[in-house]
Every structure is written in structure tokens, then in C-alpha cells.
Structure 1
Amino acid sequence: MAPPLPPAQAHRAHPVLRAHASVVAVVAVGGGAGAAARHAASLWWPTPADGFPWTTLWVNITGCAVIGVFMVIITGARAAHPLVRPFFGTGVLGGFTTFSTYAVDGRNLFGGGSGGPALVYLVVTPLAALAAVWAAASAARSVLKRRQS
């Protein structure tokens, strides 16, 4: 454990902590909601021990598509409360999409002797996630342009 900060440094740290406390709180609450939604998806659509991790793949693709739409809306279409982006973008969608489960699923596929599917999964997931962000953001921009015309 680190020693306590000297009084002069501790005094300076408090305003920074206080200024970011609401952001940390909304990210934590949103992250919990997103992680609960991801877990619900895994209960609704479980992956067999020796099966391809379709749930994680689709959760990550769906979450990235929502991130694409959300960022277009939050940055270009509407003025939003300053805590909306950290709550929904970082918290909910960050908790919903999951690199850790993606990595564990890849390891499990390799460990189960499914090297080919593991490589496909490890390559397809980030490519599909990036494509989902791009396609969803492009579609959202297009819809906004038509609505503004």
C-alpha cells in the first residue's frame, strides 16, 4: 500500500477527485448496467463449452453499432447533459461490449483444440466491430442529413 500523500499534495488532489466524482459514479452505474445486460445475453444465448462464442461476437458487434449511432447523435444532433456520454458511452456500452470475454473465448477455443475457429474468431471480432461502428455511424449521419434537409 502506498504511503499517504503529504498534506500539500493531498489538499490539491481533493478538488480533482471532487470534480470527477460524478463522472466516476455515472461510469460505474452505467458499467454495471452494461455488464448486467451482457450477462443476461449470455444466459439467454449460452455458448456450449466446446462451441463457437456467437453471443460474445454479436454482443460486441451490436454494442459497437450502438456506439456508432450514439456518438453521431451525441456529437452532432443534440445537446446533451455532460454526464450522458460517460454514463452511456463509457459505462453502459463499455460494460456491454467486452474485450476480456473475447480474449477468454479465444483462449478457450485454442485450448479446446479448435485453432482454426479461434483464429477466425480473433480476427473477425475486431474487424466486424469496427465495420459495425463505421456502418452505424454512416447510417446515422445519413438519416440526420435527410432529417435536417
Structure 2
Amino acid sequence: MISSLLQVALGGALGASARYLTNIASMRLFGSGFPIGTVFVNVLGSFLMGVLVVVLAHKGGNRWAPFLMTGILGGFTTFSAFSLDAATLYERGELGLAAVYVVVTVSLSLVALFAGMATMRGVFA
């Protein structure tokens, strides 16, 4: 139990740090008008979750799940930030942009998750 908790804590610190750096880089590259950094981490995190689900299942690596999936990816992906970004766009009166943001993020994240799973299932087939 303590070992798993430490794995989650360490992974979460790494994932959250990676998310922070990604958002800083995104704002510098694209500006702050649209939360592209949040879209990016959610889509990439979903793809990597799909990859890990298959890899860990095929390699018997479930002992790494707390560190990799709950910790790193849990810290890296940003559902609460996604929700805040959507609400902020909505409250600024940018209803269309808020709707696009929600649909694009959720759709691409689901596609990325399935793509990650399919990619690794192809590797292990």
C-alpha cells in the first residue's frame, strides 16, 4: 500500500510538472486565446493511456500501473483544467469557441485512447 502510494505521488509530481511546462510552452508558441496546451496534454495522455493499458497487460507489468497510469498520466492530463477552460470561454461569452473546445478535446482524446490501444495491439499481435 505505501509503495503504491509513493509511486502515485512521484508519478503525479512528474506528470504535473510536464503539464505545467507544456502549458507554458504552448502559451509562448500560440498565445493564451485558446487553451491548446490543455487539449494537447489530454489527447497525448489519452493516447499514452491506451498504449499503457495494452503494454502492461501483455507484459505483466501491472505493478507499474500506479506510477505510470495513476501517477504520471493522472498528473499530466487535466480534466479539471479542461473544465475550467471551458467555463472561462463560456463566461467570456465565447459560446461557440467553448463548444468547439469541448467537442474537439473529448473527441480527440477518445480517438487517441483507441489509437494507442490499436497501435500496441498491433505490436503484440
Normalising by structure 2, we get a TM-score of 0.92
Partner of 2:37: 55
Partner of 1:105: 85
| Structure number with larger C-alpha Rg | 1
Residue 80 of structure 1 deviates from its aligned partner by 2.4
Q: Pick from 73, 79, 83 the counterpart of residue 55 of structure 2.
A: 73
Partner of 1:14: none
RMSD value, Cα: 1.4
- AA aligned opposite 2:122: S
C-alpha distance in 1 between matches for 2:46 and 2:19? 13
C-alpha distance in 2 between matches for 1:116 and 1:65? 26
Residue 135 of structure 1 deviates from its aligned partner by 1.2
CA 1:81–1:64: 2 relative to 1, 3 Å: closer
Secondary structure at 2:93 match in 1: coil
C-alpha distance in 2 between matches for 1:79 and 1:100? 31
CA 1:140–1:115: 2 relative to 1, 3 Å: same
Unaligned runs of 5+ in 2: none
What stretches of structure 1 move > 4 A for 4+ residues in a row?
none
Residue 39 of structure 1 deviates from its aligned partner by 0.1
Secondary structure at 2:60 match in 1: coil
- AA aligned opposite 1:75: A
What is the percent sequence identity of the aligned residues? 37
Partner of 2:114: 134
Partner of 2:26: 45
Unaligned runs of 5+ in 1: 1-19
- AA aligned opposite 1:29: L
Q: Which has the higher helix share?
A: 2
CA contact (8 A) 2:56 2:62 kept: no
Give the structure, 1 or 2, with the largest relative contact order (CA under 8 Å, sep 6 or more). 2
Normalising by structure 1, we get a TM-score of 0.78
- AA aligned opposite 2:108: A
Q: Pick from 102, 122, 135 the counterpart of residue 102 of structure 2.
A: 122
**Residue 2 of structure 2 is aligned to residue 26 of structure 1:** no
C-alpha distance in 1 between matches for 2:80 and 2:117? 25
